[in-house]
Amino acid sequence: MLTKFETKSNRVKGLSFHSKRPWILASLHSGVIQLWDYRMGTLIDRFDEHDGPVRGVHFHKSQPLFVSGEVDEDEEDEGGWEDLDIHPEAETPRASANAHTSVFVAPTLGMPVSQIWVQKSSLAAEHAAAGNFDTAMRLLNRQLGIKNFAPLKSLFLDLHTGSHSYLRAFSSAPVIPLAVERGWNASAVPNVRSPPALVYNFSQLEERLKAGYKSTTGGKFVEALRVFLGILHTIPLIVVESRREVDEVKELIVIVKEYVLGLQMELKRKELKDNPVRQQELAAYFTHCNLQLPHLRLALQNAISFCYKAKNLTTAANFARRLLETNPPNENQAKLARQVLQAAERNMTDVSELNYDFRNPFVICGATYVPIYRGQKDVSCPYCTSRFVPSQEGQICTVCDLAVVGADASGLLCSPTQIR
């Protein structure tokens, strides 16, 4: 990249780059010294102390100073040789009175914008955007009990790089980072810093939720699980602006964790081809996840099929009744449910005993996939709220893969309105 600075002078006699700032000094034949910002292409200051051409200029390596030198043109040697008769005891001659020096005092270095972001915020996403990953992790640990940060590594890097832009004036000059602020406009108050721009937002998660629903409907459970887990991993690193949106974020966590748990059980069921009893149990538990109505109907249809084939007609009839209660628009589903009910009425028995009592309310352990019935002790994940048997306390949650089961946490903090 070529940057051109124009000035009124016959010749440029010297140049000096500042070691840290995007500054360049130019000493001119006209006797003027100019200080330029090569990043912005603007003249910062000029110095007119010299009477003749300024032959040299140089920044101090560590101090906010520069030195310049001038030699009067009238004193320049015009040629020939001269013998100088210098007395041995004569003192070393001092610099000519016509040689001048100029001192430039640099402005005080301000606070980096990233440091301002960190000082003004308690939101983990904004700390990650500032590049302070350590403080971001401490906030997430304190607020949500998160201990496994491996799934969040790429998100941290995306937030940091997305909130900065980088400029290079010359190939030999250092790269200059520029902070990108959220909601900046031309009428913003000068020297008042806005929060960092973030690459992740709530509307993106809503679109990903729709994609997860679509994959679930199509039976692409591996893809759907990947999408829902991605949402769970992104939620701790988004920022919303209102209390209403905070409630929507918390609701989204509950929705997504139900799908993650259900899909994990369904994928586990497909691995157990030689264990029909466990297959029926997992299919039954899937119907107790809080799913969208079309997905609940598919889960009930699946459970009916497994239990009916295993001659567990009483259990199959229960699923058939639940399916008919949803008023399925698909006539094939309704027909299947009615046929199973008719067969069960002739022989209301179960051949296999299942660890499943649909009459007793329960939640499902996210690690062992067994029911935790009402009145039994359990522990929960402080982030996604999944429930577990007490033996899982202290382990990483197998649903969100982030937080420690049973850990103390203050709660999700994703909006400035929660701090005011």
> Which of residues 401 and 183 earns the better pLDDT score?
401
Q: Please state the rounded mean pLDDT for residues 41-64.
A: 81
Say whether pLDDT at 83 is over 70: no
Say whether pLDDT at 253 is over 90: yes
**pLDDT tens digit sequence for 148-166:** 999 999 999 999 999 988 8
End-to-end CA distance of the chain: 46
Say whether pLDDT at 143 is over 90: yes
pLDDT of residue 9: 58
3-state per-residue secondary structure call for 352-382: CCCCCCCCCCEEECCCCCCEEECCCCCEECC
For the beta carbon of residue 305, count every other beta carbon within 10 angstroms: 15
Backbone angles phi, psi at 390, to 5 degrees: -55, -30
**pLDDT tens digit sequence for 209-222:** 999 999 999 999 99
CA distances to 192, 273, 276 from 305, in Å: 64, 15, 12
pLDDT of residue 78: 46
| Contact partners, residue 92, CB within 8 Å, separation at least 6 | none
CA–CA separation, 64 vs 49, rounded Å? 18
> Which of residues 72 and 42 earns the better pLDDT score?
42
* Helices assigned H by DSSP within 149-201: 153-162
Say whether pLDDT at 420 is over 70: no
- Dmax over Cα atoms in the chain, in whole Å? 134
Burial of 75 (0-12, 13-18, 19+ CB in 10 A): exposed
CA–CA separation, 239 vs 85, rounded Å? 81
Angle, in degrees to the nearest 10, between helices 243-271 and 221-234? 150
Considering 4-8, 257-261, 412-416, the range whose residues carry the highest mean pLDDT is 257-261
CA–CA separation, 3 vs 22, rounded Å? 13
> Which of residues 271 and 88 earns the better pLDDT score?
271
Work out the mean pLDDT of the chain and round it to a whole number.
86
Say whether pLDDT at 72 is over 80: no
pLDDT band at 77 (very low <50, low <70, confident <90, very high): very low
CA–CA separation, 377 vs 388, rounded Å? 9
Q: Contact, 59 vs 39, CB < 8 A? A: no
| Contact partners, residue 378, CB within 8 Å, separation at least 6 | 363, 365, 372, 387, 388, 389, 390
CA–CA separation, 216 vs 224, rounded Å? 6
CA–CA separation, 307 vs 352, rounded Å? 9
pLDDT band at 42 (very low <50, low <70, confident <90, very high): confident
Judged by average pLDDT, the poorest of 55-59, 228-232, 392-396 is: 55-59
> Which of residues 64 and 197 earns the better pLDDT score?
197
